[in-house]
């Protein structure tokens, strides 16, 4: 059995302890990272445009509470159609990519 090297990196220690080689936990962590990244993008774009949640909602044709949910890192119900509507309302385009877990096997759309 290979012995792990010692570290003082808190993130690495927590990852070893709670994630390790558990594929289900790795998938869950990745999903949470994506949700947080999407929420952060929506928040940053809205702030950059100088809009409140209500103003963005009006542009998108939805309610403030929907925009609030989309900006929450714990929300996992992002739809491509809603993200596309938000992008269009901010004069942006939505780009989606699917990449392989292995480096060098990426496919971008």
Per-residue pLDDT band for 105 (boundaries 50, 70, 90) equals: low
Q: What is the pLDDT of residue 50?
A: 97
The span from the CA of 50 to the CA of 37, in Å, is 20
pLDDT tens by residue, 43-82? 999 999 999 999 999 999 999 999 999 988 888 888 999 9
Q: How far apart are the first and last CA of the chain?
A: 42
Q: What is the pLDDT of residue 24?
A: 85
Q: Are 77 and 68 in contact (CB under 8 A)?
A: no
Domain membership flag for residue 91: yes
Domain membership flag for residue 4: no
Domain membership flag for residue 61: yes
Q: What is the pLDDT of residue 108?
A: 54
List the domain range (segments joined by +) for residue 67.
10-108
Q: What is the pLDDT of residue 32?
A: 85
Domain membership flag for residue 2: no
**Residue, of 24 and 88, whose pLDDT is higher:** 88
Domain membership flag for residue 5: no
The mean per-residue pLDDT over the stretch 89-101 comes to 88
The count of residues in the chain is: 109
Q: Indicate the helix (H) or strand (E) that contains 88.
A: helix 80-89
Domain membership flag for residue 44: yes
């Amino acid at each position: 059995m290979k012995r792990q090297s010692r570290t003082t990196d808190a993130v690495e220690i927590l990852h070893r302890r709670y994630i390790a080689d558990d594929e289900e936990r790795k998938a869950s962590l990745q999903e949470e990272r994506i949700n947080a990244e999407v929420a952060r993008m929506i928040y940053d774009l809205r702030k950059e445009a100088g809009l409140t949640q209500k103003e963005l909602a009006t542009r998108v044709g939805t309610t403030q509470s929907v925009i609030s949910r989309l900006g929450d890192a714990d929300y996992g119900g992002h739809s491509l159609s809603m993200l596309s509507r938000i992008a269009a309302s901010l004069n942006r385009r939505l780009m989606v990519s699917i990449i392989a877990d292995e480096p060098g096997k990426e496919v971008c759309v």
